[in-house]
Amino acid sequence: MHVLVVYCHPVETSFHAALHKEVVANLLAAGHTVDDCDLYAEGFNPVLSREERLGYHEVPSNQLPLAAHVDRLRQAEAIVFCFPTWCFGLPAMLKGYFDRLFMPGVAFDLSDPANVKPMLTHIKRISAVVTYGRPRWVAWYMGDPPRKMITRYMLRLTGSAARVDFHAYYHMNVATEPRLKRFLQRVGQAMARFA
């Protein structure tokens, strides 16, 4: 399977950097091809400009500013998102990736606004590896936008055809080395079984 890994963290020595390496290594070891999209390393611009917003509904010219990323998304059979939760949401860089890339003609067909059709039906698997600073109940209380973005929004864009899993580590603020190691192993095992 051709897997697009979308990684979003600015610090190369972070626990999330270790999770990212574990994800990629185990996907490759399992025989998948991986397109490793490190948004920070690639210098992705998350800002939806005035010009892009004005041309947002103009298919296919709306895709020109992100043609390479559109192509990468269209080639993917699966997506693995790897990111921390900041302020109970996606990091701004990743939110900008969604805002700019998941547009009409790419993620959905808006030609009939009363009947929006999903266009990521080629995506058969979606996974996410996400860390939270606070405990699960606090994320739940805040509505857990990252979980909904992956398990609901992304699923809808595939026509509800993709299989989705969400690997979350809660309460990083009080993390211990043994717990972090166990989570890292669990993520590695999940990616080794990814299908």
Condensed to tens digits (0 to 9), the pLDDT of residues 49-95 reads 999 999 999 999 999 999 999 999 999 999 999 999 999 999 999 99
- Average confidence (pLDDT) over 105-109: 97
Tokens 């509904």 sit on residue: 57
Per-residue model confidence (pLDDT) at position 195: 87
What average pLDDT score do residues 152-166 get? Answer: 96
Evaluate if residue 47 carries a pLDDT over 90: yes
Please compute the mean of the pLDDT values over residues 103-107 and round it to a whole number. Answer: 97
Task: Please give the full DSSP string across the chain, using - where no structure is assigned.
Answer: -EEEEEE--S-TTSHHHHHHHHHHHHHHHTT-EEEEEETTTTT------HHHHHTTTSTTGGGGGGHHHHHHHHH-SEEEEEEE-BTTB--HHHHHHHHHHS-BTTTEE-SSTTS-EE--TT--EEEEEEE-SS-HHHHHHTT-HHHHIIIIIIHHHTTT-SEEEEEEE--GGG--HHHHHHHHHHHHHHHHT--
| 154/125 Cα distance (integer angstroms) | 10
- Domains of the chain as residue ranges with CATH: 2-192 (3.40.50.360)
Averaged pLDDT of the chain: 97
